[in-house]
Amino acid sequence: MTEENNITNSTEQEENPQAPATEENEESFAQAMGAEAEEDDDSFGEEDFAAMFEESLKGKDVKVGGLVSGTIVQVTDNDVVIDIGYKSEGHVPLNQFRDINGEITVKPGDEVDVFLERYEDEHGNIQLSRTKAERMKVWEEIKKIAEEDGTIEGVVTNKVKGGLSVDIGVAAFLPGSQIDLKPVRNLDKLIGERFEFRILKHNQKRNNVVISRRAVLEETREKMKEELLGKLQEGAVIEGVVKNITDYGAFIDLGGLDGLLHITDISWGRVNHPSERLNIGETIQVKIIKYDEERQRVSLGIKQLKEDPWTRAAENYPVGTRVTGKVISIKDYGAFVEIEEGIESLVHVSEMSWTKKIKHPTQIVNVGDEIEAVVLSIDPEKRRISLGMKQVEPNPWDSLIDKYPVGTKIEGEIKNITDFGLFVGIENDIDGLVHISDISWSKRLKHPGEIYKKGETIQAVVLNLDTQNQRFSLGIKQLNEDPWKNISQKLMINDHVTGTVTNITDFGAFIELEDGVEGLVHISEITSDKEKKAEDVLKVGETVTTKVLNINDEDRKIGLSIKAFLEEKEKMESGEYITDSFQKGKVSLGEILQMATEGKKEDDAPAAAGEVAADESPEEAAPAAEAEEAAETADSAEAEAEAPAEEEKTEEPEAPAEEEKASEEKATEEKATETEAPAADESAATEENENRDE
C-alpha cells in the first residue's frame, strides 16, 4: 500500500456520521463481513485491506511539517507516547515536556499539539516534536503581535555581541541601543530579568527576530508625562527616582519628566558632591521650587523640605555659648566646623591656642575631628559664626602680670633664634622675646646667633608684659648698669678722648670710648682730604684720639672729630692755640700750666709709640708728642705774659697787631663754620646708623 499525505481517523463511528449507530446494524455488518470472509477467505488480500484503511481515515487532513493534536497514552522514563489517530503511536522525548525546574508538565490523557516530522521511521514509529510545535506556535504569535503592534514578554538569557539574547519562545536579538532609554554599561545585571518588548522585525525562514524594550519604555513614559504635566505645580512635594548624578547636581525621574536637583538645593549644609547624599536608582522626596511649563523644565529641592536653620541661629547660638561640632574643612587661615546641618562656623588659627605658635590648623585639628568651642560672634544675615577653641580654657596670660612684674629677673631656655632676637621659654608654652637691641649695651650684633645657641639657658629681665597682644618683652643688657647713665659726668664737649674703631661705614666710623659707649666720627671729621674714604684712613680695631663735638644723652649719641683734634694739635705745636686762647680769655694761666704738667707726665712715655703714630697717620698722633707741644706752648705763654708790651712788639715786628687780630678772627670764623657742618652731618649719619641697627 502507498503512503498518502491524508490520514483519517481509525474509527469510522467517531468521524463518519453514516456509520452504523445501533447494535442491530453492527451485528448485521459483522455477519455480512463474516459470511463474506468465510466464502472467500483466501481472496481477501493486502490491497483490499489498504483500501478499507484509507476509507476509514477519510476526513482528517494532516500534512508532514504541520501541527497535529494527539492524546498522551503513556509517559515512560525516556519518552512520551502520543496517539494522533494513526496506525501507530508517536514517541516524543520526555525532556521536551519538562519546565525550567526539570518537572514533567504532562500526564496520560492530556491533549497536546505536536509537530509531525515523519509518518514512520525505520522502526515503524511516527516522528513527532513538541519543541517544534511550540516554536511554530510562537512564530504564529510573533506574526500576530507584529501585525497588531503589540508587546511580547521575554527573559534575557545571555549577552551577545552588540546587545542581549532574549527568549520569547524563540531566541530574539535585543540591540544595545534598544535596551533602555539611556545607555546601559553593565549588561550582566539584566541577565535573567523579564521585560516587555516590541517586535521591530521578524523572519521565520532565517529564524531572526529583532525586539526593542526602549520602544515600550518610551510609550509608557509618554503616557506618564501627560499625566504628570497635568498635576505639576510649584511648591508641590512629589516622589522621584535618581536617574543620573553630575558634578553640579542630579536628574530626578518624576515619572515621564526629568527634573534637576541642583547641588546647592540638596542640603542647607556643605555638599562637596551630590554622590555624598544620593545614589542612582534611589527613590527620594523632592519639592518643586520652579516649573517652566513652556520649556517643560522643573527645578527641584530637598533642603526646601526643612526650615532654614539660620532663621533661629541667633537664638540658638548667642555669643558665649559653648558648642560641639565636626571639622569639615581646613584652610591655611583656620578650620570650618559644622555645629548643625546647614550651619558652619570658622575657628580662626589665632583662636586655637593661648600659647602655641600655630603655623597651620592641622597642628591642632584634622577633618572629621569633634571639637568643643565658644561662640565669639554671630551674623545671621551674612551666615557667619566665629568660634574660639582657646576660650574653652582659662587664659594663662592673665596670671603672668602678677607673677612677673616689670623688672623681675627670670631664667629660661632659648627656644628659637631669629634675625631680630631670641625667644626664651617662660612657662606653659609662653615665650618671651629678647630683641637684638636688648642683648648688649656695647656690642653691635648682626645676628643673635653670634653669641647664643638654641637650647642654652640664659637670664633676662622683664621689660614689658602686654597680655592683650600676648607679648612678653625681655632684656639681657638690663642685667647690668647702663654705661650712658653718667656719661655727661665723664665726658664734656671739647674733651680729647681715645677709643677703638669698631665699625666703618660710608658716612663715618664708630669709636668705642668705653664698654657700652660709642661715638661717631662723621666722614667729614676724619680727614681734610676729601678724596679719601673712611676705610682709607682708619681700620677696625685701630686706636685713635678724637675731640668731642657734642653729646646727646637722650638719643645716646656722641659726635667726635679726628680732624678737629689734629688741628688743635698743630696749633699747640706752633703755639698759636694757647696764645690765641689766652688772649681771648678761652684758657687761663692755670689751665696752661695743667696742660704743660700733663705734657711732662706723658713725655716719659716711650718715644717709639709717638713715632709709630706719627708714621701711620695724623689721626694717630702719640700722647707724648701732645705733651711736648703742650709744655712748649705753656712756657712760651708764660714768657709772653711776663714781658713788657714794648719788648713784645720788638720781638714780633713782622706782624702788626691789626693784621694779626684780623687773621685770628677769620681763622676763628672758618673753624666755627667747619665745626657746625660736620656736626649736622654727624647727626644725620647717626640717625641713619640707628635706623640700620634697628
Place 319 in a pLDDT band, splitting at 50, 70 and 90.
very high
Where residue 673 falls among pLDDT bands split at 50, 70, 90?
very low
Q: Sign (positive/negative) of CA torsion 255, 257, 262, 265?
A: negative
Q: How many C-beta neighbours within 10 Å does residue 59 have? A: 14
pLDDT of residue 669: 46
Q: Which CATH number is 149-217 given? A: 2.40.50.140
- In this structure, of 91-95, 229-233, 267-271, 616-620, the range with the lowest mean pLDDT score is 616-620
| pLDDT tens digits, 389-435 | 999 988 888 778 888 888 889 999 999 999 999 999 888 778 899 99
Phi, psi of 646 (to 5 degrees): -65, -40
Answer whether residue 635 shows pLDDT above 60.
no
Domain 487-684, second-level architecture: Beta Barrel (2.40)
Residue 629's pLDDT is what?
45
HSE-up of residue 496 (Cα within 13 Å, Cβ side): 19
Q: What is the model's pLDDT at position 591?
A: 52
**Which residue would you say has higher pLDDT here, 2 or 64?**
64
Instruction: Give the CATH number of domain 12-132; options: 1.10.287.610, 1.10.730.10, 2.40.50.140, 3.40.50.300.
Output: 2.40.50.140
Residue 73 has pLDDT above 90, yes or no: no
CA atoms within 13 A on the CB side of 613: 20
Average pLDDT, the chain: 75
Q: Which three cell numbers stand for residue 677?
A: 657742618
Does 190 score more than 70 pLDDT?
yes
- % of residues, the chain, pLDDT over 90: 26
pLDDT at residue 606 greater than cutoff 80 = no
pLDDT of residue 249: 93
pLDDT band for 360, please (50, 70, 90 cuts). Answer: very high
Q: Is pLDDT at 60 greater than 90 in this prediction?
A: no
Distance CA 225, CA 232 (A): 10
Structural fold of domain 230-305: OB fold (Dihydrolipoamide Acetyltransferase, E2P) (2.40.50)
Q: For residue 345, what pLDDT is reported?
A: 93
pLDDT at 691: 44
Residue found under cell 600676648: 470
CATH number for 396-479: choose from 2.40.50.140, 3.20.20.300, 2.40.128.110, 3.40.50.12280: 2.40.50.140
Average pLDDT over residues 505-520: 87
Q: What are phi and psi of 562, to 5 degrees?
A: -80, -40
Distance between CA atoms of residues 650 and 660, nearest Å: 15
Dist CA 531 CA 249 (whole Å): 80
How much of the chain exceeds pLDDT 70, in percent? 72
pLDDT tens digits for range 78-101: 888 888 877 667 788 888 788 777
Residue 361 exposure: Cα atoms within 13 Å on the Cβ side: 26
Q: How far apart are CA 50 and CA 569, in angstroms?
A: 171
Residue 149 has pLDDT above 50, yes or no: yes
| 546-565 residue pLDDT tens | 999 998 877 888 999 998 99
- Whether residue 16 is predicted with pLDDT greater than 60 in this model: the reply is no
pLDDT bucket at 576, cuts 50 / 70 / 90: low
**Buried/exposed 494-522: b ≥16 CB within 10 Å, e otherwise:** eeebebebeebeebbbbbbbeebbbbbbb
d(CA 199, CA 174): 10
Mean pLDDT over 642-657 rounds to: 36
The mean pLDDT of 673-694, rounded to a whole number, is: 44
The predicted structure's pLDDT at residue 470: 81
Name the pLDDT band for 15 (thresholds 50, 70, 90): very low
Kindly report whether the global pTM for this prediction surpasses the value 0.85: no
pLDDT(627) > 50: no
Rg of the chain taking only CA atoms, in angstroms: 62
Report which of residues 325 and 490 the model is more confident about.
325
Higher pLDDT, residue 386 or 204: 386
Give pLDDT, residue 347.
Answer: 95
Per-residue pLDDT at 181:
83
Widest distance between CA atoms in the chain: 219
CB atoms within 10 A of CB 371: 19
Mutual orientation of helices 562-574 and 623-642 as an angle, nearest 10°?
Answer: 50
Is residue 602 scored above 50 in pLDDT?
no
Domain ranges, ordered by start, for the chain: 12-132, 149-217, 230-305, 309-392, 396-479, 487-684
Q: Are 670 and 663 in contact (CB under 8 A)?
A: no
Per-residue pLDDT band at 133 (split at 50, 70, 90):
confident
- Confirm whether 230-305 and 396-479 share one CATH topology: yes
Predicted confidence at residue 418, as pLDDT, reads 93
Direct distance between the N- and C-terminal alpha carbons of the chain, in angstroms, rounded to an integer: 136
Q: Is the pLDDT of residue 34 over 50?
A: no
Each residue's pLDDT tens digit, 205-216: 888 899 999 999
Lowest pLDDT segment from 215-229, 351-365, 413-427, 656-670: 656-670
Residue whose entry in the numeric block shows the C-alpha cell 666720627: 521
457: which 3 cell numbers?
Answer: 639657658
pLDDT tens digits along 433-474: 999 989 887 777 889 998 899 999 999 999 998 888 888 899
Residues 6+ apart with CB under 8 A from 375: 317, 318, 319, 320, 321, 322, 323, 345, 385, 386, 387
> Is the model more confident about 639 or about 502?
502
Say how many C-beta atoms besides its own lie within 10 A of residue 688's C-beta.
14
Q: Quick one: pLDDT band at residue 630, thresholds 50, 70, 90?
A: very low
DSSP line for 556-584: TEEEEEHHHHHHHHHHHHHTHHHHHHHHT
pLDDT at 121: 65
Give me the DSSP letters along 273-338: -GGGT--TT-EEEEEEEEEETTTTEEEEESGGGS--GGGGHHHHS-TT-EEEEEEEEEETTEEEEE
What's the CATH fold of domain 309-392? OB fold (Dihydrolipoamide Acetyltransferase, E2P) (2.40.50)
Q: Tell me, what DSSP letter sits at residue 428?
A: T
Q: What are phi and psi of 566, to 5 degrees?
A: -70, -35
